Structure 1
Amino acid sequence: MAQDIRELFKEDAQTQEKMPIKHQNRFLKKLDAALPIESKSKFNWLKIAASVVVFLGLSFGGVKFLKQEVTLPKNVTPNTMETKTLGDVSPGLKKVEDYYLASINLELSKIKYTPETKDLFDGYVVQLEELDKEYKRLSVELTESGPSELTVNALIDNLKFRLNLLYRLRAQLKELNISETGVEEVTKII
């Protein structure tokens, strides 16, 4: 019952019928009649146009994706990088930094700016700006070279200096108010 498959294929090859000679020509004529050449060319142009549109869209999207321009705020230059703060080093240092910054902001909010205290206040503001510049420089150093004991201590000392400067400003303003109040009381008595 088992037959050799090679023998079956040999027998099949011998019994195959050949196609009539003009069959292919008749088939092509019928195909041309069903699908005229003009309609084929219209579809070809549509396919080409659609391919061009898709290609242009993909290339435009690819250029946009690969060229992603970063929009920076007006005051940031492209060479600046995100600087680290004490809070980025450890949670304990973040608490210290937050304490000093909150105290500095509280002291600044307590100070009353008047025309009489303008010169005194402006002098302290200049010193605070210098300390702020130094703090930013130290933050850049912390970012570039990593946390070191000297840098961390310098940042904490900078915050302490700013807070102490504000305490001195407040004390001087109190003295100025006391002396002005004393002068006013003396003038009332006279």
Structure 2
Amino acid sequence: MKQDIRDLFKDDEASGKQLPENHRQEFYDQLKASRPRRTSKLNTNYLFKVAVMVVLFMGLALIVFTTTDKVIEVIVESPIETQIDALEQQYLANIDEEWQNFISVANDEKLVNRYRDKLDDLDNDYQEVSKQFKADNNNILVIETLVDNLKTRLQLLKDIQEHINLLNQKRTL
């Protein structure tokens, strides 16, 4: 049963027919027509979503860049400044308390004015040293001067209080 395949098609009536010249073009046209049509990749919903994402990104970037400068300015305070402020508040509270005690006990207006002038001078010196500290907060000498000034004011008030107590004791005797 071996046969040559060419022999089978020799007698066939289709073998003698010629294809029309535009057969190839018609075949391609039919092939294109049978394919499903693609929709455009540029969809309006897609464009809208991209535009919204770009606007949101730009808005967030603007917010981040404008608030970053403010955050950096807030964090600049050093731990030394915080400790000095706490120490200053403690001393000033003690000084105020001693001054109020002195005023309540003192009977001599001349004595009160004299000590008020001394405390005002010390306070003015303290303000000058405080400005130096703000300009150069890493200078240990300025910090020591601040603390010494506060100690001097507090000690002055305690000395005043002691002096008044001695005067009151002498009066009662």
TM normalised by structure 1 equals 0.48
SS at match of 1:68: helix
Given the alignment, which residue of 131, 144, 153 partners 1:133?
131
Structure 1 segments, 4+ long, off by >6 Å, are none
Alignment counterpart, residue 27 of structure 1, candidates 28, 31, 37: 31
Identify the residue that residue 65 of structure 2 maps to in structure 1.
68
**Alpha-carbon spacing, 1:134–1:26, altered in 2? closer, same or farther (3 Å):** same
Question: How far apart are the structure 2 equivalents of 1:133 and 1:173?
Answer: 24
Residue type of the alignment partner of 1:48:
T
Q: Does 1:49 align with 2:51?
A: no
Asked if the contact 1:107/1:166 (under 8 Å) is kept, the reply is no
Whole-angstrom distance in 1 between the partners of 2:57 and 2:151: 58
Residue 62 of structure 1 and its aligned partner are, at CA, apart by: 4.3
Q: Distance in 2 between matches of 1:174 and 1:101?
A: 22
C-alpha distance in structure 2 between counterparts of 1:56 and 1:123, whole Å: 65
Structure exhibiting the larger radius of gyration computed from Cα positions: 2
- 1:107 and 1:167 in contact (8 A); partners too: no
Aligned identity (percent) is: 8
Equivalent positions of 1:30-179 (< 5 A) are 30-31=34-35, 34-35=36-37, 40=39, 47-62=43-58, 64-65=60-61, 68-69=65-66, 70=68, 72=70, 82=76, 101=84, 108=91, 111=95, 113=97, 114-115=99-100, 116=103, 119=116, 124-139=122-137, 155-179=139-163
- Residues paired across the two proteins, number: 133
The residue type paired with residue 169 of structure 2 is E
**Normalized against structure 2, the TM-score is what?**
0.52
- Offset of residue 134 of structure 1: 0.8
Letter in 1 for 2:149: L
- Please provide the CA RMSD for this pair: 4.4
Per-residue deviation, residues 128-183 of structure 1 (Å, max 9, x unmatched): 232111111124xxxxxxxxxxxx7xx22212222221232122112211122123
Instruction: Write the distance in 1 (CA, Å) between the matches of 2:89 and 2:61.
Output: 46
Residue ranges of structure 2 left out of the alignment (5+ in a row): 1-21, 104-111
